[in-house]
């Protein structure tokens, strides 16, 4: 791959997916596009890139972009945010929404589904009172390939071995083939849809809880800010935003404030004197 081809592809990737590739990442593009080139009948990654360059944006370009997404995920990833959800964030939100009995949740980079299913299992297991609530749980990703897997809800032994507590495996999975499948009662809780965070956003209700974890790290500062500003327009004044362990709103979008919890944190829209939120409970612990 020539420097020119790399630059072309890096610009394409950033323009259409927001993913910023640093200089020196040629090896990554070579590795990830190898299979795409082979499947398309191209002799090399360079030949694939030349072809993409000569043609208008289409399916082949999206396949190449998708190959550069990093879909790493696991059940109850990082543990502490899920402990905070179980012990503080969800009990508090549920108490606040007792009158409306409505909760709107969005998992914005859901990958193969482990993250939204972890949360769905937590809701079902620890908050049985929600059974007759109106819960909207949307999980989105740019990649149709990972979404197809997420909807299926089938996981192999390695994936199951990464973070899934044995009691949840027993309660919410059934053996299928050489792996396990999430039971229908959990799968039905989550609606998976394709959505590009840097494209137009669909209509969504006002959100109580947003998981935007381990995706901002791939974007440049301006893209991070745009996305955080857009999230803010959907997030209810007392709603919660969870980011990945290596991510923060600090020095990027100052309209959020961080709430520190034990070994983790979440973000909420900064309260100003003009827009106090009447709290029934104390958020900070």
Ligand X SMILES: C[S@@+](CC[C@H](N)C(=O)[O-])C[C@H]1O[C@@H](n2cnc3c(N)ncnc32)[C@H](O)[C@@H]1O
Distances in Å between the alpha carbon of 17 and those of 23, 146, 229, 283? 17, 15, 17, 35
Q: Using CA atoms, how far apart are residues 70 and 218, in angstroms rounded to an integer?
A: 9
Print the binding letters for residues 70-99 with ligand X: x by CB under 6 A, - otherwise: xxxx---x----------------------
248 binds ligand X (CB under 6 A): no
Q: Which active-site residues does the annotation give?
A: 32, 141
Is the Cβ of residue 78 or residue 87 nearer to ligand X in the bound state?
A: 78
From 116, 132, 93, select the one nearest 172 (Cα to Cα). 116
214 binds ligand X (CB under 6 A): yes
Residues touching ligand X: how many (CB under 6 A)? 24
- Residue from 64, 142, 164, 216 touching ligand X (CB under 6 A): that is 142
- Residue from 50, 83, 136, 196 touching ligand X (CB under 6 A): that is 196
Minimum CB separation of residue 162 from ligand X in Å reads: 10
118 binds ligand X (CB under 6 A): no
Is the Cβ of residue 161 or residue 237 nearer to ligand X in the bound state?
A: 161
Is the Cβ of residue 46 or residue 163 nearer to ligand X in the bound state?
A: 163
Minimum CB separation of residue 211 from ligand X in Å reads: 7
Q: Which of residues 48-67 bind ligand X (CB under 6 A)?
A: none
**Residue with tokens 């944006």, as numbered in its chain:** 57
Stretch that binds ligand X, among 1-9, 109-117, 231-239, 263-271 (CB under 6 A): 109-117
243 binds ligand X (CB under 6 A): no
Is the Cβ of residue 213 or residue 236 nearer to ligand X in the bound state?
A: 213
Minimum CB separation of residue 213 from ligand X in Å reads: 4
Residues that bind ligand X (CB under 6 A): 17-19, 69-73, 77, 109, 111, 115, 141-143, 146, 196-198, 213-215, 218, 244
């Amino acid at each position: 791959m020539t420097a020119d081809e790399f630059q072309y592809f890096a610009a394409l990737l950033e323009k259409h997916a927001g993913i910023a590739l640093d200089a020196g990442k040629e090896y990554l593009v070579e590795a990830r596009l190898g299979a795409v080139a082979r499947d398309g009948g191209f002799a090399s990654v360079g030949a694939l890139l030349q072809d993409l360059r000569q043609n208008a944006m289409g399916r082949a370009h999206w396949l190449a972009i998708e190959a550069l997404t990093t879909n790493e995920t696991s059940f109850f990833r990082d543990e502490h945010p899920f402990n905070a959800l179980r012990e503080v964030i969800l009990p508090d939100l549920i108490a606040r929404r007792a009158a409306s009995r409505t909760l709107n949740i969005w998992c914005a980079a859901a990958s193969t589904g482990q993250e939204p299913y972890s949360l769905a299992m937590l809701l079902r297991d620890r908050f049985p009172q929600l059974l007759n609530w109106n819960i909207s749980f949307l999980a989105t990703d740019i990649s149709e390939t990972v979404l197809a897997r997420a909807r299926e809800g089938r996981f192999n032994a390695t994936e199951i071995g990464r973070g899934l507590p044995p009691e949840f495996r027993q309660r919410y999975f059934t053996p299928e083939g050489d792996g396990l499948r999430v039971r229908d009662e959990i799968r039905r809780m989550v609606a998976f849809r394709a959505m590009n965070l840097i494209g137009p956003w669909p209509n969504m209700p006002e959100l109580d809880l947003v998981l935007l974890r381990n995706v901002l790290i791939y974007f440049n500062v301006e893209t991070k800010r745009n996305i955080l500003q857009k999230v803010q327009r959907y997030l209810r004044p007392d709603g919660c935003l969870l980011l990945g362990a290596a991510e923060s709103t600090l020095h990027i979008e100052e309209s959020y404030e961080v709430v520190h919890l034990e070994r983790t944190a979440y973000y909420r829209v900064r309260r100003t004197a003009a827009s106090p939120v009447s709290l029934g409970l104390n958020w900070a612990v």
